[in-house]
Amino acid sequence: MNKILLIIQREYLSRVKKKSFILMTLLTPVIIAAFYGIMIYFSLQGATSTFHKVAVVNNNSRLTEKLNSGKNISYTYFSTSLQDVKKNYIKEGFDYILYLPDFPLDAPKGIQLMGDKQASLALNSKVANDLEETLRTQQLKASGIAQQDLDRLSTSIDIDTMKIDENGKEEDSSAGATTIIGSAAGILMFMFILLYGIQVMRGVIEEKTSRIIEVMISSVKPFQLMMGKIIGIALVGLTQFILWIVLTTAISAVAVQFFTGKDKVAQTMQSASTLNSNKDTVKAGQTAAGSQQTEKAEVQDKLTESGPVAYVQKSLAHLDLTKIILVFIFFFLGGYLFYSALYAAIGSAVDSETETQQFVMPVMMPLFVGYALSLSVISNDPYGPIAFWLSMIPFTSPIAMMVRLPYGVPDWQLGLSMVLLIIGFIGTVWFASKIYRVGILMYGKKTSLKEMIKWFTYKN
C-alpha cells in the first residue's frame, strides 16, 4: 500500500511541477474570464451603443403622428426644406436625415435615410421599426382607439420555462442555459477523459521505452505500478479541474468589476455630450440626469435585467451548480478510471507511441459516439430511451449523464448509473492489469489483439 502511495506521489508531483501544466492551469481560466468579460463588455456596449441624431424632414401631410425618440436615437423634426437641412445638418450636430415624401399611408415608399456615412443595417431597421410603429399608431388612432388603450396593448412577451417536480413544486428552469451547461459539461468530460487517459498511456510507454520498467517491477507489483500511475494522474486532473473552477470564478469576478467600472465612465461621457448638444431630444438626456452614482447603479441594473450575461447569470442561479460540479467530479473519476485502465493496457502492449493507433481507435470509438449522440439526441430529448441507455452504459455514461444532468435526472437513475460505472471500471482495471503485467516486459514483438488475448490467460 505504502508503495502505491509513493508511486502516486511521484506521478502526481512530476506532472504538477511541469511548466506546461502550470501554464495550462493558469491560462485557461484567464481565457475563460476574458471571454466572459468580453461578453459583458459587448452586452453593455449594446445597451449604450452609439447614439444617433436624426433630422426628420416630413413632406407628408397625412403623417401627423411623430416618431418617438428612443434610448439610442433621437428624432428632430425640421420644417425647412430638404435642401436646407442637407446643407446644415452636420453643422447642427445631426448624423442622418430621414426624408419622408408624400406617400399614401397604406403604401409607404420613397423614404430615404441620408447621411455622410452609410447608415448601418441595425440603424436602418431601427428607423424602419420606429416608422412602422408610428404609422400603425396613427392608423389605429384614426380608427378611434385612444392612446391609453394603445399603451395597454403594447406588452412584450417572455415565456418562462418551469419544471415541476414530483411534489408539484415548480422549479424555474431555463432551456437555453440547461443546454449550454449540459453541453459544456459533456465537452469538458470528453476532453478530460481523453487527455488524461492518453497521459496514462504515454506514461506507460515512457516507462517501457526508457527501460526503467524492469527496475520498477523488481520493486513493486505491476498492478501497484499501474494503479499508482492511474490514480496519480487522476489527481492531476482533479487538481486542474478544481483550480480552473476557483480561478475562473475569481478572475471572472474581477473581470466583471473591471468592465462595469470602465463602461460607467464611457457612458457618462456619452450622456453628457448628448445633454449638451441636443436640446430638442425627448428622452435622450434621461440617463444622464443623475450623478455618477446613480449612473453606475443604472449600468448595474442593465447588466442584471437584460443581455446575454444577465441571462446566463439568471439561469445559473436556477441550476444546482454544486450538484453538477460534484457529479462531474464523480463521473470524471469513474469515466477516467474506466478508460485509463484500457489506455494503460494499450501502452503496455506497444513499443512506441506510433504503434498505438490500431488499439486506440476501438477504445476511443465509444467515447466519440457517446459524445456525438449526447450533443444531438440527448439535447433534443433528454428523457428519451436513447438518452437513458447512453447515460447507463459505462462506456458513454460519463458524457451522457453530464449532458442530461442539468435537465434533471431522477435520483435512482443517477445512482444506478454511478454503480454501473463503478462496476465498469473495476472490470476494465482487472482486465487491463492482466494484459499490462505481461505487456510491459515484452519488447520488440509487434503485438496483435489476438496476442493480447493470449496474455490474458497467462499465469502470473
Residues lying near another protein in the complex (CB under 8 A) are found at 3, 6-7, 10, 14, 206-207, 210-221, 441, 443, 454, 459-460
**Whole-angstrom distance between the N-terminal and C-terminal Cα of the chain?**
20
Distance, in Å, from the CA atom of 22 to the CA atom of 16, rounded to the nearest integer, reads 7
Of the two residues 213 and 387, which places its CB atom closer to another protein in the complex? 213
Provide the grid cell at 329.
467530479
DSSP state string for 314-352: HHHHHS-HHHHHHHHHHHHHHHHHHHHHHHHHHHHH-SS
Residue 57, classed as helix, strand or coil, is: strand
Of the two residues 27 and 215, which places its CB atom closer to another protein in the complex? 215
| Min separation Cβ 310 and another protein, Å | 47
Of the two residues 217 and 243, which places its CB atom closer to another protein in the complex? 217
Distance set, CA 260 to CA 284, 364, 365, 383, 431 (Å): 21, 44, 45, 40, 55
Burial class (CB in 10 A: 0-12, 13-18, 19+), 215: exposed
Residue 294, classed as helix, strand or coil, is: helix
Residue 53, classed as helix, strand or coil, is: strand
Of the two residues 3 and 283, which places its CB atom closer to another protein in the complex? 3
Of the two residues 226 and 378, which places its CB atom closer to another protein in the complex? 226
| Min separation Cβ 399 and another protein, Å | 32
Of the two residues 5 and 269, which places its CB atom closer to another protein in the complex? 5
Distance, in Å, from the CA atom of 437 to the CA atom of 244, rounded to the nearest integer, reads 35
| Min separation Cβ 218 and another protein, Å | 4
| Min separation Cβ 353 and another protein, Å | 15
| Min separation Cβ 16 and another protein, Å | 13
| Min separation Cβ 223 and another protein, Å | 12
| Min separation Cβ 216 and another protein, Å | 7
Provide the grid cell at 283.
428622452
DSSP state string for 82-151: HHHHHHHTTTTT-SEEEEE-S--TTS----EEEESSPPPHHHHHHHHHHHHHHHHHHHHHHTT--HHHHH
Of the two residues 323 and 454, which places its CB atom closer to another protein in the complex? 454
